[in-house]
A and B are shown apart, each in its own frame.
Chain A
Amino acid sequence: MLRFISRRMFFAILTILVVSAVVFAIFSFLPFDPASLTCGQRCTPQIIEGNRIKLGFDKPIYEQYWLFLSGIFAGRTYGSGSAAFSCPAPSFGYSFNENACVTDMIKESLPITINLAIGALIIWLAIGVGLGVLAAKFKNRWPDTSSSVFVLLGTSLPTFVTGLALLIWVSIKWKIIPMSLDGYVSVLDSPPRWFMYFILPWITLAIAYAALYTRFTRAAVLDTLGEDYIRTARAKGVKERTVLFKHTLRAVLAPIVTMAGLDFAGLIGGAIITETIFNLPGLGRLTLRSVFEFDLPVVLATTILAAVVVIVMNLIVDMLYAVLDPRVRI
């Protein structure tokens, strides 16, 4: 186990390095002059050249990349003298547009995205696995047919439709959940306000994923119910309820956990549409804004962060799999 983890860690770090280098290279070869992007309305060549030196764009690419990497561990200072601006470690760069350290911007938006993703994950697992089991248990009867209607709607309705529909009806027309105007509230500060803030985005994201998980769980449960070891359990005199909820669900758990881990990682990378609809200042919105404003340091950082999350979640899922399936030895 320890050897597996250390080996995987090594490769994870290697992958992250490669990803960061590739992303860095892509942004460096874009046909823009990054220094001129930092220049406002009253732009003079002097300002551009000044910023170029200040932000390090005058140096060769490999040196810029090295500065970027070392900044993560040592922090980085831009410019010198009284005009110096420094970002402490871990520094992912400096956003000229926002006049802020990229790390601070991520620190502000990441918790929102994590809150969004975890809440949605819990809801879609509960609905998806629950409905899937129900549909399998009552195959071809009304719970199954109605759940397949849900699956059809959930998979075919894009989040910008369900999200907007929820926003228009639940928040604006019926005023059940007020549109939050005061911004993000931590669960530690006020649980009810936190809940109100996130419930609609959670549902929006959860509907799409719950549909997929319903279909997947139903198929997996039906598959497992046909297994020989389920017949063995019945032949022992095990109650049908126990057969379903213990013997069958236990076997279905491992693939569901795998899928959930990877989907979760994907969401951290950016639930851009949902965050935009509900005006959540999360990572997805941050990325979107940075792309539109050519705020390259931020785009670079969020892209690398998304890759890191996917790599780390893969590692976690693999380790969980070994815990869940005794046949897998690592």
Chain B
Amino acid sequence: MSELLRINDLHVAFPTDDGLVRAVDGVSLTVSQGETVAIVGESGSGKTVTSLSVMGLHKKGTAEMSGSISVAHDGGFLDVISASEEEIRSMRGRSVAMIFQDPMSALHPYYKIGDQLAEAYVVHNPGKKKEAAARAVEMLDLVGISEPAQRAKEFPHQFSGGMRQRVMIAMALMNSPKMLIADEPTTALDVTVQAQILTLLASLQKEFNMGILLITHDLGVVAQVSDRVNVMYAGRIVEQGGVDDIFYNPMQPYTLGLLKSVPRISKSGSERLKAIPGQPPSLISLPAGCAFAPRCEYIKFADSNACATQMPALVGTKAGHTSRCHIDESKRQASFAEAMKEVR
């Protein structure tokens, strides 16, 4: 499997009047052909900023970026951070396409669906308007929109939410990109429609052999479609591993907290939802040590001094499963095992 995206030690910061907001702090991850890699985390954890960085979509002059983002493009790799505006533009939509959270607002209200799709093709294939129009209809058909030729002539407001997300996916596929970034693709949709969209994405992934970077806060979505998972907290990846590792053998108290806070139908109705106490830290003044330490239930199993002063390194017990935590491995297994009984 060839790699499509290699993010290495990415830092993204936004200077504001109140200080430097460190939105992404040393993120490294890869996405290969045919696999789905998820980034999970709560609002403000830096997952969307990471995805927008890959597309070079931060407003000019607002973001300070360092590290490297290599994107497979035209047979080689393009480093998005150092590339020119024009190089990035030729990559967008062609090598890497992106779909967004809210399909209601992500489509231009004044242009016909077919024209918006065709534009995605024409920007990279100048002059080929006829082919673009034909391909737009073809793609609408592919994502399961009935009477695609007719519907291509309609405007976004004539589509339902789920249909609009299908349109967005069709638009992303116009240039058969090798990679797709899906930023919360199902968050704004009904649960039944969510399932349809996820199934559609999975089948299209097989058909096009795409790599998908899935940004979400929904662990249910992650479990359903992803191969590998990155858990982000306060701009850092705190745990990284295969989907089974994350769900059955979490190594980081934050991941465990997320798993415990998933509502379960099997539980008796009187039981309250479990939440992680406290608030995420301000990204302007991050604690010197582990950013999760102030909220950590398991800090008693670790050297609390180390938690407060040293940022734990991202280290693993076995290949492909790493986490940031000061808790001693033997103590962790014992204490987490109890909690995991609840999760199952």
Contact = CB atoms under 8 A, between A and B. Distances in A.
Interface of A: 227-229, 231-240, 242, 247, 250-251, 324-327
B57 A251 contact: no
A325 B110 CA distance: 6
Nearest to A230: B108
B119 A229 contact: no
Contacts, number: 70
A231 B85 CA distance: 15
B100 A231 contact: yes
Interface in B84-139: 85, 89-94, 97-98, 100, 102, 105-111, 119-120, 123-124
21 contacts: A229-B107, A231-B57, A231-B106, A233-B108, A234-B57, A236-B92, A236-B120, A237-B89, A237-B90, A237-B93, A237-B94, A237-B120, A237-B123, A239-B123, A240-B85, A250-B108, A250-B110, A325-B110, A326-B109, A326-B110, A327-B155
Nearest to B94: A237
Contacts of B105: 227-229
B157 A229 contact: no
A322 B57 CA distance: 33
Nearest to A253: B110
A236 B123 CA distance: 8
Contacts of B107: 229, 232
Contacts of B106: 228-229, 231-232
Contact of B92 (A237, A251, A324): A237
Interface residues of B, number: 28
B55 interface: yes
Contacts of A327: 109, 155, 157
B171 interface: yes
A134 B91 CA distance: 28
B155 A326 contact: yes
B97 A235 contact: yes
Interface string B162-205: 00000010010000000000000000000000000000000000
A236 B157 CA distance: 20
A111 B209 CA distance: 68
A312 B74 CA distance: 57
Nearest to A239: B89
Contacts of B94: 237
Interface in B57-90: 57, 85, 89-90
Interface in B272-327: none
Contacts of B57: 231, 234-235
A243 to B, nearest CB: 10
Nearest to B158: A326
B215 to A, nearest CB: 14
Nearest to B155: A326
A180 B154 CA distance: 54
A231 B98 CA distance: 10
A94 to B, nearest CB: 51
A247 B110 CA distance: 9
